[in-house]
């Protein structure tokens, strides 16, 4: 999974008419499913933990590249993000935690 900005879809799939319980699969290019073992191993997560988290729903796996882990917490004001304007994008200082996620840049 060395590809940058890779997002994969996880699906809880069971065989039609099968007595086996559903298992997690990754939707691969070409609309076929492959076992999620490799993704779960890279995420250091068991299938049981992933299924408990997803609660039977589909989910996404995001590959994070260039991850930086800091020794000490940093104030949000040390980072900026891009905000869309009618003229393009402009850097904006981060003043509060984002509601979801966002790309950030160090000042």
Model confidence pLDDT, tens digit, residues 77-95:
888 888 899 999 998 888 8
Give rounded-to-5 percent helix, strand, coil for the chain.
15, 35, 50
What is the C-alpha separation between 46 and 52, in angstroms, rounded? Answer: 10
What is the C-alpha separation between 29 and 8, in angstroms, rounded? Answer: 10
Give the residue-averaged pLDDT of 17-37: 73
Query: Own/partner pairs for 34-39, CB < 8 Å, 24+ apart?
Result: 36/10, 36/61, 38/1, 39/1, 39/8, 39/10
Instruction: Note the pLDDT of residue 17.
Output: 53
What is the model's pTM?
0.54
Give the residue-averaged pLDDT of 13-24: 63
Residue closest to 58 by CA, chosen among 93, 83, 103, 22? 22
Q: Is the pLDDT of residue 107 over 50?
A: yes
Which of 34-38, 40-44, 61-65 is least confident?
Answer: 61-65
Q: Is the pLDDT of residue 20 over 90?
A: no
pLDDT digit string, tens, across residues 40-60:
888 888 988 988 888 888 888
Per the DSSP assignment, residues forming a β-bridge with 25 are 11, 35
Instruction: Note the pLDDT of residue 1.
Output: 41
């Amino acid at each position: 999974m060395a590809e940058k900005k890779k997002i994969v879809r996880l699906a809880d799939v069971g065989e039609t008419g099968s007595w086996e319980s559903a298992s997690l699969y990754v939707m691969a290019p070409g609309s076929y499913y492959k076992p999620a073992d490799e993704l779960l191993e890279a995420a250091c997560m068991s299938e049981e933990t992933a299924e408990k988290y997803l609660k039977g729903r589909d989910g996404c796996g995001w590959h994070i590249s260039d991850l930086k882990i800091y020794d000490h917490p940093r104030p949000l004001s040390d980072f900026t993000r891009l905000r869309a304007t009618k003229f393009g994008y402009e850097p904006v200082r981060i003043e509060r935690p984002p509601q979801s996620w966002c790309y950030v840049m160090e000042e």
